[in-house]
Each structure stands twice: as C-alpha cells, then as structure tokens.
Amino acid sequence: MQSKITVLTPEGTYQTGRGDTMYKFQVTLEDGTHGEVSAKTQDRWSVGDEVEYTQQSTNWGPKLKLQRPGMAGGPGASGGRDVSGQIASWAVGAAVNSLPPLSNVNEIEVQQYREQVEKIAQSLLAARVNLKPFSQP
C-alpha cells in the first residue's frame, strides 16, 4: 500500500542486540493508518514523504514497515521474506563502502555524502536488475 506521512512523532531510542541505536517514531499516514516505525537514523523519514508500507498488529500495538516507493517491489512483496529490503541494504552498504569515511564534517558535506550514497546505490540497484544469475554449462 502507498500513502504519505502526515505526522511523525519521535519516541526515543533503543539498542538492538547487535548494539545498534534505533530511533522509534509514531507515524500517521494520509490514509489514516498509524503505527510505530523504527529507523537507523533520526532523519530517515519526514512529514510529507511518500511511502510504501505494510502494517502488522503486535501485542505492543501496530507496527509499520516503511519503504520509499519503487524499491524492488515494496515491503513484503516476496511472500514474507524482505528480500527487497536486503537488496536495498546491500546497495546502500556497497555505496557507503565505496566512499571515504565521513567524519568531522559540516551539514552541507553530510548532505552531499548522502546524495553520493543514494546515486551510487541506485546505480547498483539498476545494474543488479540487468544481471543474470550465474549458471554452469
């Protein structure tokens, strides 16, 4: 399903089992859907962002999985396995690894870095679509 973020309320952070910091948000979408979203960065989502989503009911309330429109079929497109998220994660990771480390920089440089990561990741995703699986003769 697709909608637009109308309300985004920060709800703090938590640590994953791997020690990563995750940021929690309560999100309301234009179509009335609402729920909790976690992200690896504080600025992952903004009011006005167009998103594809899936919603899951849990004992702790509704949880949303958000994704930018068109990212390899959207959340849950692979029958429960989030392969599209893994592919997008691979592309972003490869893009970040191809650039020099980001440290002690100003806000403009951070934005340029993000743009470079996005451009490289999109190129990798586009190239991956055109690759054929390896097969032996």
Last residue of a domain, one of 15, 41, 67: 67
Q: Over the stretch 84-133, which tens digit does the pLDDT of each residue have?
A: 566 666 777 777 777 776 666 676 677 777 788 778 777 777 766 555 55
- Residue 137 domain-assigned? no
* Domain shared by 42 and 15, yes or no: yes
- The DSSP bridge partners found for residue 67 are 52
- The whole domain housing 112 covers 83-130
| Domains in the chain, number | 2
8 close to 46: Cβ distance less than 8 angstroms: yes
- Residue 136 domain-assigned? no
- Residue 73 domain-assigned? no
pTM (global) more than 0.75: no
Distance (Å, whole) CA 22 – CA 37: 10
* Domain shared by 87 and 111, yes or no: yes
- Residue 25 domain-assigned? yes
Last residue of a domain, one of 67, 95, 116: 67
Q: Over the stretch 18-39, which tens digit does the pLDDT of each residue have?
A: 888 999 999 999 999 999 999 9
Per-residue pLDDT at 83: 54
Q: For residue 82, what are the CA distances in angstroms to 7, 54, 66, 73? A: 25, 11, 12, 10
Nearest to 123 by CA among 75, 87, 91, 86: 91
- Residue 40 domain-assigned? yes
Per-residue pLDDT at 131: 52
- The DSSP bridge partners found for residue 66 are 53
